[in-house]
Amino acid sequence: MGCRDWEGIVESADTRYATERAEKAEKRNDELSKFLCGMLDHLEASEFEHFIDRFKGLRDWWEEHKKLDAQQLERLKSSALAKLTPDEKKALGLDHVGR
């Protein structure tokens, strides 16, 4: 199987079939991204520099992936903090956050 599970989806005449294939490819992409993220996170502590440049574009993907993860985490934190009352923030020691 090639690295492009999504290939041929656009050309499909059956919209439902194309949608199912697109959803399956998106799910698989997410699974592979999680796998690659975990692997690179582990390697970053040891053999990262030796490994990362062996695959064209991997360093760029990894840097962009970490940046997007950090942005997503910040949005999640902001969203969670916005749901807390001032008293709840104070009780959790977070009354200084979000000012």
- Give tens-digit pLDDT for 43-98: 876 777 777 878 888 889 888 988 988 998 999 999 999 999 999 888 988 887 76
Distance of CA 40 to the CA centre of its chain: 13
Query: Which has more confidence, 61 or 9?
Result: 61
Buried b (16+ CB within 10 A) or exposed e, 66-76: eeeeeeeeeee
Quote the CA–CA distance of 67 and 8 in Å, as a whole number: 30
What tokens were used for 85?
């009352």
Distance of CA 83 to the CA centre of its chain: 24
Residue with tokens 């582990």: 42
Q: How confident is the model at residue 2 (pLDDT cuts 50, 70, 90)?
A: very low
**pTM strictly above 0.85:** no
